[in-house]
Structure 1
Amino acid sequence: MERKLPKIMASTVVILTFSVAGFAQSTDKRITQKSVSENGQPSLITFNDKSSYKEADYNTVFKEQLGLKDNQSFSKIKTESDKEGFTHEKFQLYEQGVKVEFANYTLHSKAGKVTSMNGEYYNLENVKTNPKLSSQAAFAKAIAYTGAQKYLWESPEDAAAMGYEKPKGELVLLPAMEEQGLERKSDKVRLAYKFDIYATKPLSRGDLYIDAQTGAALFYNATIKHLHDGVHSKGTSATAKNQKNNAAAMAFVAANAATRYSGTQTIQTSLSGSSYILSDVTRGNGVQTYNSARTATYPTTNFTDADNNWTAAEYNNTNKDNGALDAHWGAEMTYDYWSAVHARNSFDNAGAKIKSYVHYNLVAAGYPNNNNAFWNGSVMTYGDGTGTGGFDILTAMDVAGHEIGHAVCTYTANLAYQKESGAMNEGFSDIWGACIEYRAAPTKSTWLVGEDIERRSGHLALRSMSDPNSEGQPDTYGGTYWVNVNCTPTNNNDQCGVHTNSGVLNHWFYILSVGKSGTNDIGSIYNVTGITIDKAAKIAYRLESVYLTANSTYANARTSGIQSAIDLYGAGSAEVIATTNAFYAVGVGAAYVGSTDTVAPSAPASLAASGTTGTTTNLTWTASTDNVAVTGYNIYQGTTLKGSSTTTSYTVTGLTASTAYTFSVKAKDAAGNLSASSNTVNVTTTAAGVTYCTSQGNSTADERIGKVVFGTINNTSTGTAGYENYTAISTNAARGSAYTITITPSWTSSVYSEAYAVFIDYNQDGDFSDAGETVYTKATSTATTATGTITIPATATLGTTRVRVSMKYNAIPTACEAFSYGQVEDYSINITASGAIVNEEIVAGLVETTETSSFALYPNPVAGELNVSLSNNTGYTFRIINTLGQQVSTGELSGNPIDVSNLNTGVYIIELNNGSKRIVKKFAKK
């Protein structure tokens, strides 16, 4: 049974505003900029020429800038220099001689002068450092909490191979989270024993913190970093050619190796006795690949070859032994990448030996299958996979680069394996896997992770950095697939989504490397010019190795990423602009604001109005472009500014019934430049509208509606009120057509039994009480989704009306009630006349028409302009929908081509509608 730990550690940075967005105000004339964490302590300070701080002045710097107290001290733990001429000195905070966990601060100097400082600091008061429990008693608590059948210290030979000893317990002060609203008002710590617990069955390794006063388990920071968190079918066993390594002196030599995934490659081996083994003594302190031989152990058993020609005939066997050649070559290429590109000597920058163990049996270690690989804090470990339905042996190059990347993280930022810091830990590993693969095997798919090993139906790879959504990851902070990090980290929730939310950092790196334009999930319109993968990697490495700390968040990453680009390429450089705007593109922070940007965005196009009522109308338009980034749109009623939007839609409210209005839109950028006006649209509101009854849940603390999918409505709701008005979100639905509705509940912790009802005001009379307007109900259930079919009756009134979705604890809700637990959400539906609809559903309830005699769509595939030919195109509007059911463009059919140049490559749906007729067709964007 999974036990949950209390939520601890600061994980969110609150950025205050000074003259430049993202920095806190400071009266110190020596400071250029200051970022603060949510506890009010500085996380990054940069100094100007007025500062006289020198490297040797670190005690003065800490006292003046952090307010270091007399009972606190910083001890220097590492000094490194880089080729840009900076020296980086990392310090550890102690309170009354006891280490404060995660409290590291780094001073960055150039030519002996401190230029910046960053890290985590805790303002501590009245700290007690005398434990009630002995380390032995705390260790017993740690063992009871872990509950494993076997531990590594019980196998001395394997423990020696890992350089591991039975933990004695280190007394530390562990920062604790105290939430008051959204900000942490004070810093608190708990005296704790820290134990490096390595269990071998079931397999786990991590630092477990036991309260030194109460014996409670406070926090678990996983050391074993898996390639992914999913599981598949059970693996098979086999044997491999091996022999025991002897202590004889070994001569090294180059060899050809027929790898499983990368063809024949040159590797370094060593002669041991009369056989050659996968041991390279030319790189650092060595690269060696061992054979675990389908056991859950780490023996010194080698793969061997008699003539040092490692051929496919010998190793491409049912045992998948050629996977060991990939692991060995991948480790060598990983070492070379870090050495040649970043001047780093192995993962620890001190030449550490890279050990890889192939044919490790995860099933014997307590896992359900062998579909994984991991870094265990000491060595690389590879499962054999299960083949069809799972993965092939997990020794592909980007997997090796990924896992050894976790070791690099340990020796640099040491990002805590939970929430946002854990997601970035995973993201950096994917980044390094991509960079290593790009350098050593440029013909491979750089932006796919694990494509060589993928054997699951419907998947191209384990993850995609170019399109994270395609493999269930978010490409935007807080967007589709984002896992809420306001949770207690456990194995069951992947430590609050570390393998999922890493997609945001992955996509940032992709955009920074190759560039991209579009609109993200939170409505921000961006246009980023790529700077190449080589420059992006230098910025990412500096970000990870110089600036990030254990509990850094995405907000920290943005601030420090920009600073990294400034260090490398200079303030205001194209690289700084791209770094800033790439973060903006993935929903982290604002777009770059440059004092010299005088280029206005292009004018919005195809402005159209729909769903007009007596008091409201919905405006949509085609996105503008800009040389830096479009940050939003101004909406004008006549010449009067009516409002603004960050998306390509806006609901105008507060209108008078039966009144004519004229609207237009202008785009704006971060520098305040306004575009030319869009086309104007004329609207006449309807007669006075109807008023619907109220309905709500009185509490959503335990359960609420998490998502509603109906037609093109695909709304992931984060609202926590008992009633949420989403009537600005709408879908078209044709008379006589059937549509699927799916309601996904969201539970805070415990799973409760919920019932559901959906109501549609078909005759638009302002109530849901007419026959047939209760369109769907589901009795109480603990199922993770509620799904049903709704058929629009032929008698439904054409036009926009209301849809009400209700979820109630333990009973089916009615349309107009207030109930104790649950939630109500209202949406809109535009009922249209039935069209000539045939064939199978292709997306979001839309199916292609078969009419071709009076209709043509060309060219198809299309690159820039899509032509629509109709015998009579009067009164038609169009909308374009992607394969996820998301509307990406709308407008009026004017006889001119439709500009689709901004769409990404893929398949789309275009729907034409004049209120009485609907035409739906597919087209491909090149």
Structure 2
Amino acid sequence: MSKKLLQAVTLTGFLFSVISSSNAQEGDKYVKQQIRDGKGNVSLITFNERAIYKTSDFKQVFKDQLGAKEDAHFQKMTSETDKEGFVHEKYQLFHKGVKVEFATYSLHSKQEKLVSLSGEFYSLENIEMNPVLTGSQAFDIALRQIGATAYLWENDLEAGKMGYAKPEGELVLLPSVDDENEGVTSFKLAYKFDIYATNPVSRGDVYIDAFTGNTLFYNATIKHIGEFTHGAKGNALFKKGTMVDSANSATRYSGDQNIETSLNGSNYVLADNTRGLGVFTYNMQKGTNYSAAVNFTDADNNWTAAEFNNANKDNGALDAHWGAGKTYDYLLNAHGRNGYNNDGAAIKNYVHYSNAYNNAYWNGSVMTYGDGSGVGGFNMLTSLDVAAHEIGHALCSSTANLAYQKESGALNEALSDIWAACVEYFAAPSKQIWLIGEDIEMRTGHVSLRSMSNPKAEGQPDTYGGTNWKSQKCVPTSNNDYCGVHTNSGVLNHWFYILTEGKTGTNDLGNAYSVTGIGINKAANIVYRLETVYLTSNATYASARTYGIQAATDLFGANSPEVIATTNAFYAVGVGAAYVSNIDTTAPSAPINLIAAGTTQTSTNLTWSASTDNISVTGYNVYQDGLLIGTSPTASFAVTSLAPATNYLFTVKAYDAAGNLSSVSNTATATTLAIGTYCNSKGNDASKDNIAKVVFNAISNNSTSTNGYENFTGISTDVLSGSSYTVTITPNRSSKAAKEGYAVFIDLNADGDFVDSGETVWSLAATNASVVSGTIRIPGNAVLGNTRMRVSMKLNGIPTACETLASGQVEDYTVNVISTNPVATNYEVSAVDDFDVIIYPNPVENYLQVIILNNIETSYSIVNQIGQEVKSGKVNGGNIDVSDLTVGIYFLRINGLNSSVSKKFIKK
């Protein structure tokens, strides 16, 4: 493919095909499961085996399944392929060109076939879209709301190094949550501003009502380990490119550990260039100015306790550096993820922030660690679990992007704690992995910040709505921890502990439970899929349950022990019902004895022996060349709309009411007739004189049949036009003295008969030879494609093509005539002289899209398999209407001024 053609393919990658169904009622027959949230919005749809949606059908899918109207527009945000081979494409919803905040929907597919949908979709109507306030007026209101005395954009040096600029604002539609019913009830047109204040420090998205000027929501960007002060982000001091060395470091909390450093001048610094785009750790020298930060250095690259375990707590920087590296390693080794954003983004650690600062946080770009205030507060906040927790917030921002308030904010915090436990188990399994912050805790009466095994020990709930649960009927602010995000996280924390370790007990709701643990690795895989594939910004505990069960189903199969444990662990923490085991999981038996009969130019009839099931067989899926083409309630199916003179492969699977699918049947073959109707020819008596074997190129067919005629058109071989081949026939003869005559006929112009000149391609007078052979030449002008070959044997004479033989046998086969001309056989791109062409989709149903590079003036013609021109015209608008063509194989010729390009396509 030429370079310019590759560019054309990239530019046109957004184009899509649309399937024939056009409404939700039509699409419902493909739905296996549909789950709605508390307000009736569809949060998850899974499809059955009969579904025919492809990923390219996203517009039709959103219309059929979600009821998307003309004002709704979906823009693809991301597309990722996971280790299981699923492709996940996330789309952002727009209404009349305005982004609907937090409203994303994802398509999950495998081998281009849609498996499920998930996300947040809202049907918006009667919304006023013309703001009263200007962006400038809304910005002034936002600044008054923040109330800071200094902002990052006021310092050009700091802002420039961090890639931050004064926000211009974005007009969005913000879902408004009903505190009483905890569901989305309305939408507000709002201005959104990313405001970074430096005194006092804060960063978050502020949403200002575009009509009233009210502050609707503050979505904190800065994430931290506990309910303490916020911080700011920094810049890189060390440039990559110098040699990386492995060094021993005496960390503050994890003993001697190997770290990666780099030589910078005459000293080694904490700069690791082996992980993604690097891990860098800097010294803020108890200040708050990131541009004033310096490197930690060591002359001999042996970072000893004698040097760094000092009153300044410099050894804590070694923990931060090692912990960030281990978090990167965990994501890569356990989940195949290249850093928190899956693109190897650099991790920048800033240590010794401010004076006695009792917190650590992720601020949207970098890690910031305080030294802690000591007794009554915390020790230096650089322990392994703290580092993993904060980088976990970065992972969330790059995936689920959970809004930092109420239940979604609690899920956000819990996921970071879960990754903290997983990283400790991965890098330092001797630590207390179910405690968060035990290394830094110095408050009286506390062992840690949070306990995942016993959340109540640190004032958290272990049951949804139970003891210590923070009410969600509140206005989220920093003063109430955005409605208890650090407190209510205990529920998901405990769910993960139970899923991993197992537990038997009774929760605060009075529900008795017993869960068999599945181990931390399986549990972590479920959580990773839950967060990176399914959760959306306004997720609740209920949706986390829905998506967690689906994630387990994807990974381990429906009704697996892992799905049972996932479901029952949610039940144990008060979210949803326990697993129900009375589900039919037995698949029907595979259909057998599948045959194709009564084949015509465009149809064939399939029959098979019925399957059995423990309850009942509901129906059968019918596949043509591996693609589902229809269903049948009985053990037969009429296939129509086939192309003439074409070989097809058919299989069948049975399904029951529970959606269980059988193994595949045997394969049946059928070759449709060419245009025209072939004459009948057979032997009245083939009991003594018949054909035992025919060999022709790839055809090598043994037959012991005594039928006067055998249809072997399902057996085929490719032959090149202009080439010669040997045919060999072995007879069964009534006696050694019996003489047989032979003839082979090929319908070279594919018109449905053998009467045209040259179509008797070989014959031999009657002979008593035990094996006969001859040469058959395929002329250069033979019509390309599948056609019929007839082999006849007659007692005491040379047979003709349409003869009824007194004694003998006739067999029909298929040959596929192909050309050595690359223009005729290229299915992707053809290029001749001065222009290139690409066409899609292929096969095509309605419109053939044509890309012609170099923008030359062109015309086209379409020719069928027998050389007849069936359509012609100018190439206008890049597409050709082929909806009026009959099903079959065609050749498109694009004619330029001095040259032409040919392309083969299939009309379906």
TM-score normalised over the length of structure 1: 0.59
SS in structure 2 of the partner of residue 340 of structure 1: helix
What's the offset of the Cα at 1:147? 0.5
User: Does the alignment pair 1:336 with 2:323?
Assistant: no
SS in structure 2 of the partner of residue 559 of structure 1: helix
1:549 and 1:562 map into 2 onto residues whose CA distance is 15
What's the offset of the Cα at 1:245? 4.6
Is the contact between residue 161 and residue 298 of structure 1 (CA under 8 Å) also seen in structure 2? no
What's the offset of the Cα at 1:38? 2.8
Describe the shift of the 1:61–1:385 C-alpha distance in structure 2 as closer, same or farther (beyond 3 A): same
What's the offset of the Cα at 1:151? 1.0
1:294 and 1:197 map into 2 onto residues whose CA distance is 24
Q: How does 1:765-844 map to 2 (within 5 A)?
A: none
1:284 and 1:244 map into 2 onto residues whose CA distance is 15
CA RMSD of aligned residues (A): 2.3
1:249 and 1:340 map into 2 onto residues whose CA distance is 25
Q: Which amino acid is the alignment partner of residue 310 of structure 2?
A: N
The alignment-based identity, stated in percent, is: 63
Aligned match of 1:72: 72
2:63 and 2:245 map into 1 onto residues whose CA distance is 56
User: Does the alignment pair 1:466 with 2:453?
Assistant: yes
Is the contact between residue 244 and residue 301 of structure 1 (CA under 8 Å) also seen in structure 2? no
CA offset digits 1:64-116 (Å, max 9, x no partner): 11111111110101001101110000000011111110110000001111111
2:26 and 2:518 map into 1 onto residues whose CA distance is 33
Is the contact between residue 256 and residue 265 of structure 1 (CA under 8 Å) also seen in structure 2? yes
Describe the shift of the 1:231–1:100 C-alpha distance in structure 2 as closer, same or farther (beyond 3 A): closer
SS in structure 1 of the partner of residue 290 of structure 2: coil
SS in structure 1 of the partner of residue 402 of structure 2: coil
Q: How does 1:289-688 map to 2 (within 5 A)?
A: 289-299=281-291, 300-361=293-354, 370-595=357-582
2:456 and 2:331 map into 1 onto residues whose CA distance is 30
What's the offset of the Cα at 1:40? 1.7
Is the contact between residue 245 and residue 272 of structure 1 (CA under 8 Å) also seen in structure 2? no
Aligned match of 1:911: none
Aligned match of 2:242: 250
Describe the shift of the 1:61–1:267 C-alpha distance in structure 2 as closer, same or farther (beyond 3 A): same
2:240 and 2:130 map into 1 onto residues whose CA distance is 52
2:181 and 2:442 map into 1 onto residues whose CA distance is 44
Moved more, 209-218 or 465-474: 209-218
CA offset digits 1:770-811 (Å, max 9, x no partner): xxxxxxxxxxxxxxxxxxxxxxxxxxxxxxxxxxxxxxxxxx
Is the contact between residue 249 and residue 272 of structure 1 (CA under 8 Å) also seen in structure 2? no
Aligned match of 2:85: 85
Q: Which amino acid is the alignment partner of residue 252 of structure 2?
A: R
For structure 2, the residue ranges without an aligned partner over 5 or more in a row are 1-24, 586-908
Is the contact between residue 328 and residue 356 of structure 1 (CA under 8 Å) also seen in structure 2? yes
CA offset digits 1:296-326 (Å, max 9, x no partner): 1213511111111100000000000000000
2:146 and 2:181 map into 1 onto residues whose CA distance is 32
Is the contact between residue 102 and residue 538 of structure 2 (CA under 8 Å) also seen in structure 1? yes
Is the contact between residue 169 and residue 193 of structure 1 (CA under 8 Å) also seen in structure 2? yes
2:343 and 2:584 map into 1 onto residues whose CA distance is 45
1:512 and 1:194 map into 2 onto residues whose CA distance is 39
Q: Which has the larger radius of gyration?
A: 2
User: Does the alignment pair 1:206 with 2:204?
Assistant: yes
1:390 and 1:346 map into 2 onto residues whose CA distance is 31
SS in structure 2 of the partner of residue 177 of structure 1: strand
Q: Which amino acid is the alignment partner of residue 317 of structure 1?
A: N
Is the contact between residue 47 and residue 115 of structure 1 (CA under 8 Å) also seen in structure 2? yes
User: Does the alignment pair 1:259 with 2:257?
Assistant: no
2:132 and 2:161 map into 1 onto residues whose CA distance is 35
1:39 and 1:504 map into 2 onto residues whose CA distance is 23
1:462 and 1:58 map into 2 onto residues whose CA distance is 45
Is the contact between residue 406 and residue 482 of structure 2 (CA under 8 Å) also seen in structure 1? yes
What's the offset of the Cα at 1:160? 3.4
What's the offset of the Cα at 1:355? 0.4
Is the contact between residue 27 and residue 64 of structure 2 (CA under 8 Å) also seen in structure 1? no
What's the offset of the Cα at 1:250? 1.9
Aligned match of 1:284: 276
What's the offset of the Cα at 1:231? 7.6
Q: Which amino acid is the alignment partner of residue 317 of structure 2?
A: A
Is the contact between residue 88 and residue 106 of structure 1 (CA under 8 Å) also seen in structure 2? yes
What's the offset of the Cα at 1:129? 2.3
What's the offset of the Cα at 1:158? 2.7
SS in structure 2 of the partner of residue 157 of structure 1: helix
CA offset digits 1:556-614 (Å, max 9, x no partner): 0111100000000001111001000000000001111112799xxxxxxxxxxxxxxxx
Is the contact between residue 488 and residue 496 of structure 1 (CA under 8 Å) also seen in structure 2? yes
What's the offset of the Cα at 1:332? 0.2
Q: Which amino acid is the alignment partner of residue 29 of structure 1?
A: K
Is the contact between residue 236 and residue 348 of structure 2 (CA under 8 Å) also seen in structure 1? no
Aligned match of 2:222: 224
Is the contact between residue 86 and residue 108 of structure 1 (CA under 8 Å) also seen in structure 2? yes
CA offset digits 1:118-176 (Å, max 9, x no partner): 11111111223222222222111111111001111122333234332211101111112
Q: Which amino acid is the alignment partner of residue 305 of structure 1?
A: D
Describe the shift of the 1:176–1:508 C-alpha distance in structure 2 as closer, same or farther (beyond 3 A): same
2:338 and 2:237 map into 1 onto residues whose CA distance is 26
Is the contact between residue 26 and residue 34 of structure 1 (CA under 8 Å) also seen in structure 2? no
2:447 and 2:554 map into 1 onto residues whose CA distance is 37
Is the contact between residue 223 and residue 377 of structure 1 (CA under 8 Å) also seen in structure 2? yes
Is the contact between residue 240 and residue 273 of structure 2 (CA under 8 Å) also seen in structure 1? no
TM-score normalised over the length of structure 2: 0.60
1:117 and 1:387 map into 2 onto residues whose CA distance is 50
What's the offset of the Cα at 1:35? 1.3
**Following superposition, which runs of at least 4 residues in structure 1 exceed 3 angstroms of deviation?**
181-184, 243-249
2:214 and 2:131 map into 1 onto residues whose CA distance is 13
1:79 and 1:302 map into 2 onto residues whose CA distance is 38
What's the offset of the Cα at 1:334? 0.5
What's the offset of the Cα at 1:49? 1.1
SS in structure 2 of the partner of residue 51 of structure 1: coil
2:26 and 2:199 map into 1 onto residues whose CA distance is 53
2:100 and 2:62 map into 1 onto residues whose CA distance is 15
What's the offset of the Cα at 1:554? 0.3
Describe the shift of the 1:176–1:264 C-alpha distance in structure 2 as closer, same or farther (beyond 3 A): same
Q: Which amino acid is the alignment partner of residue 266 of structure 1?
A: N
Describe the shift of the 1:87–1:317 C-alpha distance in structure 2 as closer, same or farther (beyond 3 A): same
Q: Which amino acid is the alignment partner of residue 99 of structure 2?
A: K
1:350 and 1:94 map into 2 onto residues whose CA distance is 27
What's the offset of the Cα at 1:446? 0.6
Is the contact between residue 122 and residue 187 of structure 1 (CA under 8 Å) also seen in structure 2? no
1:269 and 1:321 map into 2 onto residues whose CA distance is 16
Is the contact between residue 248 and residue 273 of structure 1 (CA under 8 Å) also seen in structure 2? no
2:262 and 2:240 map into 1 onto residues whose CA distance is 11
Is the contact between residue 549 and residue 566 of structure 2 (CA under 8 Å) also seen in structure 1? yes
Aligned match of 1:817: none
2:501 and 2:386 map into 1 onto residues whose CA distance is 22
Q: How does 1:710-749 map to 2 (within 5 A)?
A: none
Aligned match of 1:45: 45
Is the contact between residue 417 and residue 425 of structure 1 (CA under 8 Å) also seen in structure 2? yes
Q: How does 1:178-193 map to 2 (within 5 A)?
A: 178=178, 182=181, 187-193=185-191
